[in-house]
Amino acid sequence: MEQASLRIEDLTIRFGGHAAVNMVTCAFRAGELTVVVGPNGAGKTTCFNLISGQLRPSGGRILKNGQDITALSASARAKAGIGRAFQLTNLFPKLSVLENVRLAVQAQHGIGPVIFRRARSFTRLRDEAYAHLEATRLQEAAKLPVTALTHGDQRKLEIALLLALKPDIFMFDEPTAGMSVDEAPVILELIEEIKKDAGKTILLVEHKMDVVRSLADRIVVLHNGELVADGKPDDVIALPLVREIYLGVPAEDAA
Amino acid sequence: ADDPVKIALVHGLSGSTFEAFSKQSHTGFRLGLEYATDGTMKINGRDIEIIEKDTQFKPDVARAVLAEAYGDDDVLIAVGGTSSGVTKGMLPIAEEYERILLVEPAVADSLTGPDSNRYVFKTSRNSSMDMQAQALALKPGPDLHVATLAEDYAFGKDGIAAFRKALEGSGATIVAEEYVPLKTTDFTAAAERMFAALRDKEGRKVILIYVAGGGDPMGKIKAMQPERYGIEISTGGHILPVLPTYKRVPGMEGAIYYYYENPSNPINDWLVEEHTKRYGSPPDFFTAGGMAAGLAVAKALQSTDDWDTENLIETMEGMSWDTPKGEMTFRPEDHQALQSMYHFKIRVDDDVDWAIPELVREIKADEMDIPVGRNNQE
Amino acid sequence: MTAPVLELEGVSTDIAQYHILHDISLSVPDGGVHVLLGRNGAGKTTTLRTIMGLWRARQGSIRFRGDEIATLHTSDIARKGIAFVPENMGIFGGLTVEENMRLATRDGRFEKQRLDRIYALFPALETFWTKSAWSLSGGQKQMLAIARAIIEPRDLILIDEPTKGLAPSIILNMVDAFREIAREATILLVEQNFLFAKSLGETVAVIDDGRIAHTGTMADLVADTELQTRLLSLSLEVSQ
Amino acid sequence: MEQLGSYFERYGGINLLPVILAVIAFVLIGSPSTWLTLTVAGLAMGMMIFLMASGLSLVFGLMDVLNFGHSAFISFGAFIAASVLAALAAWVAADSVLLNLTALFLAIAAAALFGLLAGWVFEKVIIKPVYRDHLRQILITMGALIVAEQIILAVWGGSPISVPRPHFLTGSLIIGDVSIELYRLFAFVLGLVAYVALYVVLNRTRVGLLVRAGVENREMVEALGFRIDRLFVGVFVLGSALAAVGGAMWAGYETLITAAIGSEMMIIVFIVIIIGGLGSIEGSLLGALLVGLMGNYVAFLAPKMALASNMILMMAILLWRPYGLRPAVK
Amino acid sequence: MIVYAIIGVIGICLLFAPMLFPDVRSQEVAARICIFIVLVASYDLLIGYTGIVSFAHTMFFGLGAYGTAIALRQMGPGWDAVLLGGALGLLASLILAALIGLLSLRVKAIFFAMVTLAAASVMAVMASQFSDFTGGEDGIIYKVPKLFSPATKLLTDDDGKVLRIFGAKANGKMAAYYFVFFGSLILYFIMLRIVASPLGTVLEAIRENEMRAEALGYRVVLYRTAIFCIAALIAACAGILRALWLKYTGPETSLSFAIMIDILLMVVIGGMGTMTGAIIGATLMSLAQFYLKDLMEIASQATAGIPLLPDLLAPDRWLLWLGILFILLVYFFPAGIVGTLSKRGGH
Ligand SMILES: Nc1ncnc2c1ncn2[C@@H]1O[C@H](COP(=O)(O)OP(=O)(O)OP(=O)(O)O)[C@@H](O)[C@H]1O
Ligand SMILES: Nc1ncnc2c1ncn2[C@@H]1O[C@H](COP(=O)(O)OP(=O)(O)OP(=O)(O)O)[C@@H](O)[C@H]1O
Ligand SMILES: [Mg+2]
Ligand SMILES: [Mg+2]
């Protein structure tokens, strides 16, 4: 069996007495797109937060390519190639769209601490940032401040930032939530595009079942912080437990 | 019809509650000139023009306005400032412009110390005078035990050092020196420490308080009834607004810079009368000080026709003149005006709003050994 | 048919410089449960908050039992008999369950009978009556929030996503409770969980991108799967 | 260690801190009479600080308003009380507890009344336009503070003003070697009364419930049908009146006051509410008592450290509990 | 646009201050404005650009000033003393800033503000207690290098008298002014460079959304500490200039909380997060502090006949009006002058 690009072992976090993520063990492989599903509050976002370092686990380990990264800070993990788009739009509101992306490009190139050169003189960075904006169809909005964008465009920018980081592990948290029907395909195509690169691992939280079906190589189901199912999409969707807790169809109805 | 001769009063007039003192000082200064010129406000036929400058209690502003006074307004003599720090910043400006700066009412000894210069004269008292007079008022002898209380910074420490020096050779002992942080409001702990140090001693036991700011340490320590251990409190006299708080210590003895009933001389009589007439209240520390400065300026200008700075310095060195506090003399070495202090004993009279620091005796300038700050003669 | 309890006509709401609601018109019939559906960020919460006066409508009119309330202060709107259960439940964690409930009463006194009914609906509240509200679990908090809305008789109860983050068994309980409550008050329910909404709602309005996209009866919507897919992005499998 | 912690929680938790402090001090000081003198003095000092701090804490907790102008109310309270006492000098000096008390009561009442009125104006004119914007609050209230100090200077002048103390409150109670200043005893009692009254209002009445609920979530309070803005004015006015009363008591303690009296207390007031946790009366009291006791003990044991002791205390507590001992808002 | 015009005017006035305003007070004001522009801009790097609220900025200002002052006093008026003292002041600032930053910049903003407040007050107490070096409350006076002494003739005419350039004496005073002016100019340009650099963008990103910046791979604590150190160093440089210009250093001129408040006011009046705001804020405030009083004197005399007004306009009550002015500014220019003007220009 090929080595997992990302592995979590017994991952646990408690808030007060409540375990939001409880002893979750799971491995993700390069070239595979895993959809994480589960009812609201199941712990999906929390799980992402643990992997990308926004939260410190109360227990368990996280391994990337076999290396333990549990102790690394969020910034170190970002540098190590774990990229993350947030569920709640999480940008730099007063900066322009281009600045937002350029910040990510700059971080990826590791040239933050340069003081005595004007930021504008780094044309290479700007070009690269533009490329990402084009990919997400945001080029026209480049000069606008983030606050002027529609919700859907902010979601796209969120993804442009993730692309700019060039991670090898992509985590999308409900990337199409709140997008209108004609906007969502752009994002889905982008994800398809990334999927073609066999070196990339993709984690996706998504509620829309048609999206799940069209993209997923594998589905993982969380419920009350615990991993309750893991497998091929069709198999998982067919499980009675999953139908009950996630799809909301009482078991007897589903039968 | 010569141009008027200009004199600048450079004090803090805004930005601190001490602004009231500056204003008293100004009143006194004008009264001084008025007295010396018999109300004409002319010296050698020239009008005197007074220019007021506000230091805002900031040294940088003070330096700017003093320089402005010398440089742009072309004043002959400047008088100021209110607080020691600000005044210290002003000293070099006098040297730079080679004009006379008459220090009043700032007290610190260092204003006539090594950092000062030969253009600086000082009519205000200094801390050494306060403390030496205070020591003399205690009538020190071998049976005297003192615990001192002061604030923990240069002013407090220098004051206690001067006091210690004044006691030297008298046989009296200092059993404890307590220093509290600036702006302390609760003196219970310090008092307990001093009680502990004094209570088992034989003879006279005194707590000497030397705290410049507010906080009323005297009242607070008195409220703890030190008399139960036979301990007395002693502290220097104070300005009139503070004297009501002395009503709690009838019979206390100490030394004071000025109380309007204490000196007896014609100038003081005139001052008290005029001030009461014009302002409805007797003059206070800063009025008397201001007047002394005004009289000094008048005397110097009247004594010579050549008002060149060098000549004025020569005139003023060693000059004696009369003030509401009796005769003062500019010591030639450091230009500090030597002057009398007053040994008082507190009397409480219910018809008077404040406690009366009744005169015990005048402590003459020559009884005190005020250290020479610098020698301008070298 | 009786007159509607609540009518929105041409309501537009801005939050800061953003236009969030555009020309919303909506009519809530008297009695029963009525559902406002829509995906994340569609403007459901904003609609409820606008009714409560927590956001101000830029234009349009909001009438409650015929009276214009769009310009009233939130507290006056509440005193007209509208209760609000917000998305985050609005529990006062530093207060006990009892104190939370007491604040919602008109004069600080409980009416025994109503209290008993509430205990019957949500037994957990009786158990935790004197406990601090922050120690309750999410589901219990939701119960408290709803109980607070019904401790006094109200005409209209606005409830924002009560099933969010709740376990299925609790949701089933909730369905019963809502049916019970709907006997004396009108409920305007905001939901994303279609199955829950389906089992309760009489009429439904779907909101999308700040506009009303559809109104009608729940029965019609349930019958029309194509409409569901279009409006709610629900896939066929989910609702079967 | 664990066990110690659980005992600590069981027997009162953070409420024990002043007691623990007192016990440690007892051991270090050695002399029981000195210890008692210091302890009583410290407690009384704490109560006076509490009076000044509680209003600020309430206003910050409930209204989320950082009022740097709070000290102006302290100063005004002090000066108004001083003026009233000066006007009633005959009663103040009389050897009759009744007359003394009447004068004192009138002085405190005048200060409180002023606090109420001025607080109302202040809220309407200064605070209202800057709700929810901390930086502007800090700045605008700082501007108001400058103006207020200037008004005091204009009205009362710059010279220090002496405050007559009612005759029956002068001197000390001497028990053995322990001396307890009567004025402090009175301040302690008044502070305690204020605390109990606040506690009862906040914990036993519906208004109190509303205030505490409003601290957490004001929108919900409105959605339940209450006018939070009126409640706000009420709280602000109350906070200002408390500050003025605190100022009046402080004036009597200091006996000599200047226009800077309020701003000189401000740092300590801030320390107290940060130690206590914002928005809670219990926290303010606890913080104030700790600061009062600590100040006196350290001043006796290590005078050099006296100045730093409060800062160190604050740091230590913030490291242990970043939101203070007992924050109302979590 | 208006903003740049104002900046241009201020710049020209400062550049030609010795010729345009030869009187002594104007010189002082001009030098003060130069120094405070640097100080305020460096504080704006923290509060405006990075969102760090610190109350210790005057501490660093004071370290620079005291370092230079003490060295000049102990070693005599030479450039070696300026260099050594200045360097020591800078070093001390750097070490302290790094310590405070690394230890406490990871905690909540209000806590950090309190830590800095504590540090600043401890520093003030130390300055007061080590009075042998610092002169305590009274401060110290000293001589500065000969070049800056008013007696020094920079240029002489044929008679050997000081040459006048448009009425201004080309003496040591002028040399000192231009030293301050160009020193400030260089520091200001350095800061302009910083905010326009990639680092500047990262700082803004941290201010806007710290967590996201971390998620992009920026080590927020390090960046914050770095900018805290940079701001501290620049403040210390401003302190050195101040010490050289004033020839007096004491708590009131370089360490007191009053200066901290001045800086805060200047930042806000000018507009946070704008380097130009520092110029306008520092200029306006300084002018008010030095001239409002004179203005009121005139107003008070002009209204002498009218009841009440002259009392209110009495020059000693100038602070009252400053306070009122300040309140009005916060009301009507919430984004500061630059912020408000440029927003208007934008629409
Ligand atoms: N910082 C926190 N403190 C306390 N509880 C938290 C915190 N973060 C998350 N939780 C709790 O952890 C649980 C899991 O939350 P999470 O956001 O991971 O859910 P989710 O599966 O992403 O849900 P959704 O589909 O709604 O996004 C929830 O009950 C939530 O309330
Ligand atoms: N305070 C705010 N500032 C700016 N935009 C806001 C604010 N609150 C809501 N919005 C925006 O308004 C739109 C509608 O939000 P609203 O909360 O009403 O949606 P919703 O339908 O309730 O969604 P959800 O199902 O996620 O609760 C969203 O795009 C949201 O981003
Ligand atoms: Mg989530
Ligand atoms: Mg919502």
Nearest Cα to Cα of residue D250 among D89, D99, D101, D75? D75
Q: What is the pLDDT of residues B228-273, one digit of tens each?
A: 899 999 998 888 888 888 888 889 999 999 999 999 999 999 999 9
- Residue A49, ligand 1, Cβ within 6 A: no
Residues C141 and C226 reside in one and the same domain: no
pLDDT of residue E91: 96
* pLDDT at residue E40 tops 60: yes
Residue nearest (by alpha carbon) to ligand 2 atom 31: C41
Q: What mean pLDDT is predicted for residues D254-258? A: 86
Q: How many domains does chain D have?
A: 1
Q: What mean pLDDT is predicted for residues D178-196? A: 90
Which of D142, D152, D305 should be substituted to probe chain E, the one whose Cβ sees the most E Cβ atoms within 10 Å? D142
d(CA B368, CA B270): 28
Average pLDDT over chain B reads: 90
* pLDDT at residue D322 tops 80: no
The pLDDT-based confidence of A255 (bands split at 50, 70, 90) is: very low
Q: What is the pLDDT of residues A5-37, one digit of tens each?
A: 899 999 999 876 678 888 999 999 888 999 998
Distance from CA of D155 to the nearest CA of E (A): 12
CATH code assigned to E8-276: 1.10.3470
Residues C202 and C104 reside in one and the same domain: no
- Residue C165, ligand 1, Cβ within 6 A: yes
Highest mean pLDDT out of A38-42, B201-205, D58-62: B201-205
The pLDDT-based confidence of A245 (bands split at 50, 70, 90) is: low
pLDDT of residue C236: 33
Q: What is the pLDDT of residues D91-127, one digit of tens each?
A: 888 888 888 889 999 999 999 999 999 999 999 888 8
Structure tokens at C18: 């953003």
pLDDT of residue A116: 66
pLDDT of residue C165: 57
pLDDT of residue C63: 94
Write out chain A residues lying below 8 Å of C138, CB-based: 41
From B279-288, D12-21, D102-111, the region with the lowest mean pLDDT: D12-21
Residues C5 and C42 reside in one and the same domain: yes
Q: How many domains does chain C have?
A: 2
Q: What is the ipTM of this complex?
A: 0.78
Q: What mean pLDDT is predicted for residues B126-131? A: 89
Contact between chains at D311 and E121 (C-beta distance less than 8 A): yes
From B315-324, C163-172, E35-44, the region with the lowest mean pLDDT: C163-172
Least CB–CB distance from D159: residue in B16, B20, B223: B20
pLDDT of residue D248: 93
Write out chain A residues lying below 8 Å of C196, CB-based: 248
Q: What mean pLDDT is predicted for residues E124-150? A: 83
The amino acid occupying position D174 is I
State which of C14, C44, C158, C161 you would mutate to test the pocket of ligand 2, scoring each by most atoms of that ligand within 8 A of its C-beta: C44
Structural domain contains residue C224 = yes
Q: Which residue has the higher pLDDT, D71 or A245?
A: D71
Residues C161 and C201 reside in one and the same domain: yes
* pLDDT at residue C166 tops 80: no
pLDDT of residue A178: 58
* pLDDT at residue E98 tops 50: yes
pLDDT of residue E344: 62
Distance from CA of D204 to the nearest CA of E (A): 32
Structural domain contains residue C15 = yes
Residues C229 and C161 reside in one and the same domain: yes
Structural domain contains residue C177 = no
pLDDT of residue D172: 82
pLDDT of residue A246: 60
Contact between chains at D212 and C73 (C-beta distance less than 8 A): no
pLDDT of residue C199: 87
Structural domain contains residue C26 = yes
Q: What is the pLDDT of residues E180-226, one digit of tens each?
A: 999 999 999 999 999 988 888 899 898 888 888 988 989 888 899 99
Residues C98 and C200 reside in one and the same domain: no
Average pLDDT over chain E reads: 85
Residues C16 and C73 reside in one and the same domain: yes
User: Class assignment of domain A72-167?
Assistant: alpha beta
The pLDDT-based confidence of C235 (bands split at 50, 70, 90) is: very low
CATH of the domain at D49: 1.10.3470
* Helices of type H across B171-284: 188-198, 217-223, 266-279
* pLDDT at residue A129 tops 60: yes
The pLDDT-based confidence of A250 (bands split at 50, 70, 90) is: very low
pLDDT above 90 covers what percent of chain D? 30
Burial class (CB in 10 A: 0-12, 13-18, 19+), A160: buried
From A22-36, B293-307, B318-332, D83-97, the region with the lowest mean pLDDT: D83-97
Write out chain D residues lying below 8 Å of E115, CB-based: 315
Q: What mean pLDDT is predicted for residues D151-159? A: 82
Distance from CA of A75 to the nearest CA of C (A): 30
Q: Which residue has the higher pLDDT, E303 or E60?
A: E60
Residues C134 and C106 reside in one and the same domain: yes
Task: Give the residue numbers spanning the domain of D120.
Answer: 15-320
* pLDDT at residue A249 tops 60: no
Query: Is E167 touching B (CB cutoff 8 A)?
Result: no
Contact call for residues A81 and A168 (beta carbons, < 8 A)? yes
Task: Give the residue numbers spanning the domain of C160.
Answer: 1-81+156-167+186-240
Backbone angles phi, psi at B328, to 5 degrees: -120, 155
The pLDDT-based confidence of A182 (bands split at 50, 70, 90) is: low
Q: What's the Rg (C-alpha) of chain D?
A: 20
The pLDDT-based confidence of B353 (bands split at 50, 70, 90) is: confident
State which of C11, C14, C17, C18 you would mutate to test the pocket of ligand 2, scoring each by most atoms of that ligand within 8 A of its C-beta: C18
Furthest-apart CA atoms within chain C: distance in Å: 51
d(CA D166, CA D186): 11
Q: What is the pLDDT of residues B43-71, one digit of tens each?
A: 888 899 999 999 988 888 899 899 999 98
Structural domain contains residue D1 = no
- For chain A, the domains span 72-167
Backbone angles phi, psi at B363, to 5 degrees: -95, 110
DSSP chain A: -PPPSEEEEEEEEEETTEEEEEEEEEEE-TT-EEEEE-STTSSHHHHHHHHHTSS--SEEEEEETTEE-TTS-HHHHHHTTEEEE-SS----TTSBHHHHHHHHHHHHHT--S--SS-GGG-HHHHHHHHHHHHHTT-GGGTTSBGGGS-HHHHHHHHHHHHHHT--SEEEEESTTTT--TTTHHHHHHHHHHHHHSTT-EEEEE---HHHHHHH-SEEEEEETTEEEEEE-HHHHHH-HHHIIIII---HHHH-
Q: What is the pLDDT of residues B73-99, one digit of tens each?
A: 889 999 988 888 889 889 989 988 899
pLDDT of residue C168: 61
Least CB–CB distance from D225: residue in C78, C90, C108: C78
pLDDT above 70 covers what percent of chain A? 86
Residues C50 and C97 reside in one and the same domain: no
Q: What is the pLDDT of residues E283-309, one digit of tens each?
A: 998 998 888 877 877 777 777 777 666
The pLDDT-based confidence of E314 (bands split at 50, 70, 90) is: confident
CA of D20 to the centre of ligand 4 (A): 49
